[in-house]
Amino acid sequence: MKFKTPIKLAWHRFTSCSGCQLTLVNCEASMTALSAVVELHDFALVSSALGNSEVIDVALVEGSLTSPSEVKRLLALRRKAGLLVAVGACALTGGVNVMVKGERRRAMESIYGKPGTEWDTFPPQPVHHFVKVDWQIPGCPPEQHELLEMIAAILHGGWPGRQVMPVCMECRINENRCLLEEDHAPCLGPITRAGCHALCPGIGVPCEGCRGVVAEANQDELCRLFFAAGLSEQDIRHRLERFGEVL
């Protein structure tokens, strides 16, 4: 699908922290070039004056869905958008919002008091459970270069390449010390989709898997290594489910 330049781009936020939007807003070095080819609509973080446009070429969607009113807004957005792109872990899998799981009622009550348990909400769901998603950008938050590459590709009527290697490969490229092998740390790098340049292991922090599962991930072997390192089954499950995805 090819659009006339400037493309009409909207950003809609659902249940999320706005970190994904900030990633695009923080692309200062590319703003001049972007402003020549992109026209912003429905982007409340940038300006409340951008309004609710009738027609959108590309809708970027951040956050998970947690209420009927959010679903209604998402469906209306899908109807008017030429392309819909889910951005960030919350939109792709439910993200860290899913962590409360069975403790949801207790969490709602402890944060909002009794009225919290009566609100019309449901457990966080990813965007693709409700509408067709044309493209996904992973990460918590996503990488700036992936947002910019996606916009550039759309301007040329296509999509960017898909990342198919695991975070471990980026560690090797960067010559990082392996936290899994050398420290027996619970690093999810072997089964996580690359693209972040092994950001966390690069500073000595085990990968949490925020970019989702890479194709052909060998989860069984990683679990075996985690068991051997002394992690309990529950610890491993919590770690694997942290970003809302059971492998």
Residue numbers of the site for ligand SF4 (CB under 6 A)?
Answer: 167-168, 171, 176, 178-180, 187, 189-190, 192, 196, 198-201, 207-211
Give the residue nearest to ligand SF4 (CB).
Answer: 189
Q: Which is nearer to ligand SF4, 12 or 211 (CB)?
A: 211
**Residue 245 structure tokens:** 């995805």
Residues 6+ apart with CB under 8 A from 41: 8, 9, 10, 50, 51, 53, 56
Q: Min. distance of Cβ 58 from ligand SF4 in angstroms?
A: 25
Q: Which is nearer to ligand SF4, 124 or 190 (CB)?
A: 190
Q: Which is nearer to ligand SF4, 9 or 167 (CB)?
A: 167
Q: Which is nearer to ligand SF4, 95 or 190 (CB)?
A: 190
Q: Min. distance of Cβ 78 from ligand SF4 in angstroms?
A: 28
Q: Min. distance of Cβ 206 from ligand SF4 in angstroms?
A: 6
Q: Which is nearer to ligand SF4, 85 or 196 (CB)?
A: 196
Tally Cβ neighbours within 10 Å of residue 157: 9
CA angle 3, 43, 62 (to 5 degrees): 90
CA angle 157, 58, 31 (to 5 degrees): 90
List the end-to-end C-alpha distance of the chain, in Å, as a whole number: 33
Q: Min. distance of Cβ 153 from ligand SF4 in angstroms?
A: 22
Q: Min. distance of Cβ 45 from ligand SF4 in angstroms?
A: 22
Q: Min. distance of Cβ 140 from ligand SF4 in angstroms?
A: 6
By CB atoms closer than 10 A (0-12, 13-18, 19+), residue 224 is: exposed
Q: Min. distance of Cβ 134 from ligand SF4 in angstroms?
A: 23
Q: Which is nearer to ligand SF4, 154 or 191 (CB)?
A: 191
Q: Which is nearer to ligand SF4, 86 or 131 (CB)?
A: 86
